[in-house]
Amino acid sequence: MKLRFFSLLLLLALLLSSCGTQTHMAVFYNKMSTDVAVTLYSNGQTHTGKELLRACEELLDQAETVFSRTAPTAELAMLNAEGAETVAVSPELGALLARSLSLAEETGGLFDPTAGILSDLYDITGTSPLPTAGEIAAALPLTGYTGVALADGKVSRTPGVVLDLGAIAKGYLAEQLVCLLTEAGVSGGVLSLGGNVAVFGKKKDGSAFRVAIRSPHDEGGTLGVLSISGTAYISTSGAYERYREDEEGNRYHHIFDMQTGRPAESDLLSVTVISQDGALADAYSTALFVGGYERALQLWQQAGGTFEMLLVREGGEIYTTPGLSFTPV
């Protein structure tokens, strides 16, 4: 079987009432560091619904063996632990690294796959002491996508650089799984993980998919609903999901400004990117958050229609690009 991958979260269930169309749903726990929800409409042409869901889980497990930075035996984790400056990588890891470097260049480093050392320093989900100014200054020379190169199936990097694909892997893998499922004849579905959602195909009644966007103001609340027809990848980034606080109540979130080595001080509360390119949606949601409102507008214009976006500004104002159908609640 051709190796393909998937990942995403944000629970949702789109119900079908037609007796001629079957709905298959599953939640896979703790895959790619999150819980994954899959909803498929109709069986594939050559597989049952159970077989397809089982294939999704198997591919998620395979993805972890390649792209995980924390599983000690995963290829990426072993690459980071490797002392040599140049290391051969698998075609799967090489393809995602190449895309990461390309998108880092496009965004001027606002998205950057070398943030691993900063993630380790801040230990956002842990209890290690927060880094000192000296530790941050020492880490900065070990960041920056320009210190990484890929050629002839080999990765070269500045010694000490820690690669982290967490800000692109879910979108990239979602697109690969959608390809797998559509090739199997699945008529439509929803895939969800983390701040990423994919919709593909169509609902039997022909109506648009409705995707709820989380409110950055209210945990568990909804900002509004996107209406989407056809295939799209939706990625949301914000400072409100993963963070820790110091004894004075200062908040440190997981999206870093690679110029300062600190959590990005953005004038945006959240960014949602919608695209037909899963990797782009994932990476750009991070890049636009780091860059802030004015830079987000510039990057959208430069992108020439490759994505739409929904921005929530500090004061709560919502900005959407013209190609979106969004209904606030």
pLDDT at 15: 26
Owner of token pair 């819980």: 35
Strand partners, 228: 209
For 327, phi then psi, to 5°, come to -115, 110
Given a cut of 50, the residues of the chain with pLDDT beneath it are: 1-20
Q: pLDDT tens, 180-203?
A: 898 888 889 999 987 799 999 988
Which tens digit of pLDDT belongs to each residue from 133-181?
999 999 999 999 999 999 999 999 999 999 999 999 999 989 988 988 9
Q: Using CB atoms within 10 Å of the CB of residue 45, give its burial: 0 to 12 exposed, 13 to 18 middle, 19+ buried.
A: exposed
- String of DSSP letters for 59-81: HHHHHHHHH-SSSTTSHHHHHHH
What local confidence, expressed as pLDDT, does residue 35 receive?
Answer: 84
> Which of 268, 291, 266, 271 minimizes the C-alpha distance to 281?
271
* ∠ Cα 36 42 43 (to 5°): 85
- Residue 293 neighbours by CB under 8 Å, 6+ apart: 267, 268, 311, 313, 319
What pLDDT does residue 258 have? 96
Distance CA 113, CA 94 (A): 13
Q: In the chain, what are the domains?
A: 82-165 (1.10.3980.10)
Q: At 62, give phi and psi (nearest 5°).
A: -65, -40
Residue 3 pLDDT: 35
| Statement: the pTM of the whole predicted model exceeds 0.75 | yes
- State the pLDDT at residue 43: 61
